[in-house]
Chain A
Amino acid sequence: MLEIKNLTKIYEGDVLALDNVSFNVQPGEFLAVIGLSGSGKSTLLRCINRLVEPTAGQVILDGVDVTGANQSELRLIRRKIGMVFQHFNLVSRSQVITNVLSGRLGYVNPALSLINRFPEDDIEAALKQLDRVGIANQAYKRADELSGGQQQRVGIARAMIQNPEMILADEPVASLDPVLAHSIMQYLEQINNEDGVMVLCSLHFLDLVHRYADRAIALNEGKLMFDGKPEAIDDERFKEIYGKEAERVG
């Protein structure tokens, strides 16, 4: 279980990005995080694996205090948390399989990994993950030769080879067209259903939220505005989350 307690993040220059946010996520849950751009969604996800250092509050994953961990403990926690990014964040000049294998870096021997040596099992596992997202035949291409949708699938494979307990997906479909968006979301759904991996996914489109999420939380200017079933977001709630001027699309 993931517990977020009174999480606050203030960036340099007194910018309040997260304001005392608390919520829990159950194992196997698919949680959507919604809100306007700049509402603190990305900061929230990055505070969970401490890519962004929270100013105050606690993140507790399966009883382990993530916020209190030292560097080596943090690495052990991070390898249990897969992350998927809006801009894929692949190393574009490296091969697809190398990008996937980089998900094993927290597990493998550091010295051997520096000369690009991975255990055979890991290489097999990488190919299996690529097969699962349907691009096993692209494994030895350079990552930048792939299309956007394919690159995001590599991103998912990279997260999945970590054997994660949780996946943080930061607007995974915002740079993709609607058809690709659904295919990527289906992979996340499949991971959630078949492997029982907890998914925290920030999303822009409400129809995606309705379609894939078990539960949704909403942020506005760093404050938690909503926590409940996606169906509960009615027009009134919608205006609370997105502001008075907002209109629904899609």
Chain B
Amino acid sequence: MNKRPSLLRSFIFWIFVLIGLITIAYGFQVTKVNFIETRSEQRLTQLTRIIRALAHPDILEYDKEEVFVEAPVYLPCPEAEVPIHEPDTSGPYIILDPNCEDAGEFIVVEGFNFLPNVQGPINFIPPSGASLNIGNFTADSNGEFEQRVQLPKRQPVEEAQTMRVISRKNVGLPHFSSVAHATWEKIIETVFLALLATIFGTLMAIPLSFLAARNLMSEVKSPVSSVALMLIGWPIGIFLGLYLTQLVGQVRDILISNMVWEIAGLIISPILGWLLLRWAVPAEETNEAGLPIRIGRIVAILVAVALIILSLLILGKLMYITGAWLEEKLGAFSFLGYFVSQAGEVLRMVTPVFTALAGGAVSGGILSKFGLIIADRYSKSTIRVTNAILAAIAGAIIFALIGAGIDWLYQLNDPIKTLFIPAVVGVIVGLLISLRLGPKELVPIGIAIYLIMRTILNAARSIEPLIYVIVFVVWVGIGPFAGALALALHTIAALAKLYSEQVESILPGPLEAVTATGANRLQTIVYAVVPQIIPPYISFTMYRWDINVRMSTIIGFAGGGGIGFLLQQNIRLLDYRAAAVQMLAIAFVVASMDYTSAWIREKFV
């Protein structure tokens, strides 16, 4: 049975209601809520005007045919009699009443035989030939009108001047206006901007999402020696990778001096590399190989990697050249040539990064294996000593690298502050950690990576693409490329977070089953995790594309290209009819994106 609410409870309830009201009241002041303004006559007129303009988007227009209808006018009246003007009444004609008057006085322009309901300007043409608009007319349903206009205040002229009425008529079929054409061009740019940002963002977010998934990372634990050696191995490997790329780059420079060598290098090096890999990485192995064979394999893999880098570098260069050539030759499909040359450039840029990372991974991996062996084979006291030494070195390296980063940012140029002090601090931190943990204890390195990853992703996600684009505009210039980069960066952060949450919610059963077969971590992820996350990944990617299309419509406000640029321009120019076209285009694209993504999700998920 429910108890009646006590007096205290209802008192607390009303206190909360009061606090709520006060909050809203303060909010009114801060946000300058002003409902009196909303009823102001002037504002309402403006609002009506704008809404009506928006309701008449400048999409279609007609070609206009102009008919000039003229009559002489005297300003001022001449001394002699005014010659009578006999209009040609077969077509449209005007009669001025009177046909002479002093400057600044009013006369009446009467028109006959015009098209029904036609509109147009009434111009005054002085002898100089310049046209001066002094009024507009609207014919009635009989094609007649009567409009009172003021004559301009001009110096008196003897001879007749001209009153010209221009009747405009739509001819032909309606066609798209120049605004519509510009909008079409920009909306295409917008859609592709969003598409590229989504594709690259997704590709980058997928591997990151595994690192940010708690259930996968929490079980990754390693002995101190292994973690320390891995931390030492990564920077060394990155350095070696870059060095290797540089060496291979020199070989390439020799090769590309000669076209035949270049093509030979492009064909032979990947084949050779692949054959070496085939030998070094057997398909199935039941028995562990002996030491000489293992060393031979490592050498073979290294050579194969160098050969593959070589072929990538040559390929990049070749793609750049052929792309530029194709761009000239292909005509309407020149964009394919452009893509090839840009892809070659990307290949050239990415190859060193990739080899550096791969070098880091390989050297970190090999050294951490050594760490495992140390932790496995030696006595506790030996492990304790090696752990302390390795952790100290690792700490020194990591902190020195952080110091180098700080030096670059703040330009301290003081090796004591940016190298020695951090290194000493690193040694102390490393020693403390290694002594704090027992010799056989495992470091939860997975959770550490998970936490770092999550922090970076959350920070990157909390900054809006509109702010990223400002930085990218500085880097690559105003335009859609800056917008695509900004959106891609935000997409990586946002999708990696969403994806990792999906990874965390997979069924643990298959994971357990695949682990039980003796699969390693990567195999477990590919066979037990990936099949489970494909549907949510597709659905999140579609959702993100949706968001990116919407974001790309406004990213132009900050210089990121796309339709936003046009929209902002027209709003600033108060051209609401043009702005209305862009708004309609955005609404259309966003709505159709919505339907398409829903359809794709239904079909494939």
Residues of B within 8 A of A (CB-CB), count: 29
Contact B526 A106 (CB under 8 A): no
- Interface status of B532 (Cβ within 8 A of chain A): yes
- Interface status of B459 (Cβ within 8 A of chain A): no
Residue of B nearest to A112 (CB): B283
Bound complex: CA A142 to CA B365 (Å): 36
Tell me which residues across on chain A come within 8 A of B535, comparing CB atoms. Answer: 93
Given contacts A113-B523, A113-B526, contact A108 B284 (CB under 8 A): yes
- Interface status of B585 (Cβ within 8 A of chain A): no
Partner of B372, one of A71, A108, A121: A71
CB contact list, B371-415 vs A, under 8 A: 372, 375-376
Tell me which residues across on chain A come within 8 A of B528, comparing CB atoms. Answer: 91, 102
CB contact list, A98-131 vs B, under 8 A: 98, 102-114, 116-117, 119, 121-122
- Interface status of A79 (Cβ within 8 A of chain B): yes
Given contacts A91-B532, A102-B527, contact A119 B516 (CB under 8 A): no
Bound complex: CA A85 to CA B282 (Å): 32
Tell me which residues across on chain B come within 8 A of A168, comparing CB atoms. Answer: 516
Residue of B nearest to A163 (CB): B286
Bound complex: CA A80 to CA B526 (Å): 21
Tell me which residues across on chain B come within 8 A of A75, comparing CB atoms. Answer: 518-520
Contact B514 A81 (CB under 8 A): no
Bound complex: CA A80 to CA B517 (Å): 8
Partner of A102, one of B286, B509, B519, B534: B519
- Interface status of A188 (Cβ within 8 A of chain B): no
- Interface status of A83 (Cβ within 8 A of chain B): yes
- Interface status of B129 (Cβ within 8 A of chain A): no
**Interface size classification for chain A:** 35 or more
- Interface status of A202 (Cβ within 8 A of chain B): no
- Interface status of B55 (Cβ within 8 A of chain A): no
Partner of B519, one of A92, A98, A105, A121: A105
- Interface status of A58 (Cβ within 8 A of chain B): no
Bound complex: CA A215 to CA B527 (Å): 36
Tell me which residues across on chain A come within 8 A of B285, comparing CB atoms. Answer: 107, 109
Residue of B nearest to A168 (CB): B516
Bound complex: CA A80 to CA B535 (Å): 33
The dominant DSSP class at the B interface is helix
Q: How far is the CB of B311 from chain A (nearest CB, A)?
A: 19
Tell me which residues across on chain B come within 8 A of A158, comparing CB atoms. Answer: 513, 517
Bound complex: CA A87 to CA B513 (Å): 10
Contact A85 B512 (CB under 8 A): yes
Contact A119 B519 (CB under 8 A): no
- Interface status of B531 (Cβ within 8 A of chain A): yes
Tell me which residues across on chain A come within 8 A of B517, comparing CB atoms. Answer: 78-79, 82-83, 102-106, 158, 162
Bound complex: CA A116 to CA B532 (Å): 16
Given contacts A89-B510, A110-B520, contact A51 B284 (CB under 8 A): no
Bound complex: CA A49 to CA B286 (Å): 20
CB contact list, A50-100 vs B, under 8 A: 51, 70-72, 75-83, 85, 87-94, 98
Contact B514 A102 (CB under 8 A): yes
Bound complex: CA A80 to CA B286 (Å): 12
Contact B512 A51 (CB under 8 A): yes
- Interface status of B515 (Cβ within 8 A of chain A): yes
Residue of B nearest to A74 (CB): B518
Bound complex: CA A123 to CA B110 (Å): 96
Tell me which residues across on chain B come within 8 A of A105, comparing CB atoms. Answer: 514, 517-520, 523, 527
Contact A85 B513 (CB under 8 A): yes
Tell me which residues across on chain B come within 8 A of A82, comparing CB atoms. Answer: 517
**Contact sample, A vs B, 5 pairs, CB 8 Å cutoff:** A75-B519, A85-B513, A89-B513, A90-B513, A116-B526
Considering the complex of A and B, which 7 residue pairs feature the smallest CB-CB distances, nearest first?
Answer: A106-B518, A79-B518, A105-B519, A89-B509, A78-B518, A89-B513, A83-B516
Given contacts A51-B512, A91-B514, A102-B528, 10 further A-B contacts (CB under 8 A): A75-B520, A78-B518, A88-B509, A89-B510, A89-B513, A103-B517, A105-B520, A108-B283, A121-B284, A162-B517
Q: Residues of A with Cβ closer than 8 Å to B?
A: 49, 51, 70-72, 75-83, 85, 87-94, 98, 102-114, 116-117, 119, 121-122, 155, 158, 162, 168
